Amino acid sequence: MLLAGLLAAACSSSSGGNDAGPEDAADGAAGADGDAEQADGDAGQADGNDDQAGDASGDPGQQHRPYLGILQFDVRHNLQDDSCLARDDCHLSLENEDDIAGWLGQIAAATDLAVLHWDRSVPWLVFAAEVPAGGDRVAFYDSRLDDGLRAWIDAFAAHFAALPHRYLALTPLNGVRDSISPARIDGSDDIAVAASCPVLAPGTQVQFSYDTGNGQQQASFDLQRAFTNFTLYLHDKLHPEYLALLIEANIFKNNCPEQWTDLVELYRAVHDAVRAEVGAGVKLFATLTFKDLLAYEVDRCVPLQFEDCTGSPSPPNYPQPDPLACFPLDLSALADLDQGDRLDLLALSFYPDALVMAVGEENLLRVYAEDWDGSSPCLMRAPYIPFSDPFAALERFGWHKPVAMAEIGARSCPTLAYLQEGNNTMILQPGADLSSQAFWLEHGLSTAEQRHFEFYVQSFLRDYRPIGLWTVRQGLLDPFIFSVFNTFSCMGLYDDQGQPKSSVTDTWEAHRH
């Protein structure tokens, strides 16, 4: 998920940029559109058991309930208006640091799959050290972690022990998926360690500096070794059944195509080292963005029909989408990572609002001027295109191993996002409502049951308030970060007051039992 890690990237002076398209920020795809060449042949042809739960082709005639989980993110802020400036208390947090045990208890009440989606800074220097011969890995690294992070991880250890199934997702990449994750140096510092699109191959020595308060300190770590140590520590601490070693890997392929081979080699090296330690009982894999595997682009599917915002909106006049044109597939990233049978399952990250398909009652994309005051009419608008089922394309993947939904979410409200093209800046407002969120939740869960997904992870338990445009206009937030945070603001099963969202909450509960 792009949401996590962005704040650290924004505050780190040497963090790289990103090439994510504005349509992704506006419509909730956690990544950038890519034009990578389509893979030759089918991915996932390693020997697999065709009747194993999770085969992408599935059997619609049989039902199988996947394990259900929810990502742990609990976004809190007071940026809906600028009153925090006068009080000097503006804040934005991604994780619940004050009562993580209580928050995980709320998640546990709605799930049977414990999830830790580690998309925050990594204490690289802690894990640069090797465990002494004969030493206990967990005790050694616990003693090196700062107190706050160790307590936070301990809360997840209790959470994982309390639920029947466990999923741990890790990545060496930052939230934008174009560089290495920032370093956590102590309880408050997140230090960028590399520019955009760095060398990542096994053996890479990452060198960076940070301010200790008494001057600059030079530091370095071996990327492969430190990430392997970090992974094995959390494995031993949490005992996951499912372990992702990369999150949304194909976004990095889109952002940094020349460094993709480096990342693949790093994944293979870490995979092999972890496999040798944890044995065959843990499923190892990388997560991939479904939209990029589908090679979906709305203009190639059905081009949007824009009109001026005068009078009532014209009724849609679109042709019925051609699934082969809409979802031509690019399975190259899947094939690269699975080489040597290194993906135990196909784990998808999917934010279906990015398809811009009409599935609810609020089906207009509106475009406003950069200086929009919140009340003036839009400049232009376009109705969403007709629905075409993206999950049907799984039958063309040629994948015969398990499948899982590693993260998914759809919005229940219109949100705002910035569109920047050259020197021109506009504000987008893609429509959404409760009916569209309920549609995607029901369709996703039903598909997961029919196609025998092993697990299904909802992106948010609870909504949070949208962030105000003033944060960009006064330089507090970058337009891209503003857009991404607002995109995810109303994907929860409950509203920002913790109240059920009627059909959405009911749908989730119906599929739990």
pLDDT tens, position by position, 67-123:
999 999 999 999 999 999 999 999 999 999 999 999 999 999 999 999 999 999 999
Note the pLDDT of residue 422. Answer: 85
Note the pLDDT of residue 195. Answer: 97
pLDDT surpassing 70 at residue 13: no
Amino acid at 23: E
Note the pLDDT of residue 5. Answer: 40
**Of the candidates 266, 282, 260, the residue with the CA atom closest to the CA atom of residue 226:** 266
Note the pLDDT of residue 36. Answer: 33
Note the pLDDT of residue 11. Answer: 37
Distances in Å between the Cα of 381 and the Cα atoms of 159, 290, 437 are 46, 27, 21
pLDDT surpassing 50 at residue 41: no
Are the C-beta atoms of residues 31 and 20 closer than 8 Å to each other?
yes
Dmax (CA) of the chain: 76
Residue with tokens 């929009």: 372
Separation between Cα atoms, residue 1 and residue 350, nearest integer Å: 9
Q: Who has greater pLDDT, 439 or 59?
A: 439
Note the pLDDT of residue 484. Answer: 93
pLDDT, tens digit (0-9, with 9 covering 90-100), for 274-307: 999 999 999 999 999 999 999 999 999 999 999 9
Note the pLDDT of residue 57. Answer: 59
pLDDT surpassing 90 at residue 26: no
Note the pLDDT of residue 187. Answer: 78
In CATH terms, the fold of domain 67-363+388-416+432-512 is TIM Barrel (3.20.20)
pLDDT surpassing 60 at residue 329: yes
| Ranges 82-86, 209-213, 227-231, 297-301: which has the least confidence | 209-213
Q: How confident is the model at residue 55 (pLDDT cuts 50, 70, 90)?
A: low
Note the pLDDT of residue 49. Answer: 37
| Ranges 35-39, 66-70, 282-286, 356-360: which has the least confidence | 35-39
Note the pLDDT of residue 421. Answer: 84
Q: How confident is the model at residue 153 (pLDDT cuts 50, 70, 90)?
A: very high
Q: How confident is the model at residue 50 (pLDDT cuts 50, 70, 90)?
A: very low
Q: How confident is the model at residue 19 (pLDDT cuts 50, 70, 90)?
A: very low
- The average confidence (pLDDT) of the chain is 90
In terms of phi and psi (left: phi > 0; alpha: psi -120 to 50; beta: otherwise), the region of 318 is beta
Note the pLDDT of residue 30. Answer: 32
Mention every residue, 6+ apart, whose C-beta is less than 8 A from residue 212.
none
Q: Domain ranges in the chain?
A: 67-363+388-416+432-512
pLDDT > 90: what percent of the chain? 84
Note the pLDDT of residue 1. Answer: 58
Q: What is the mean pLDDT of residues 143-168?
A: 98
Are the C-beta atoms of residues 82 and 468 closer than 8 Å to each other?
yes
Note the pLDDT of residue 64. Answer: 85
pTM of the model: 0.89
Count CB atoms within 10 A of the CB of residue 187: 11
Q: Who has greater pLDDT, 454 or 25?
A: 454
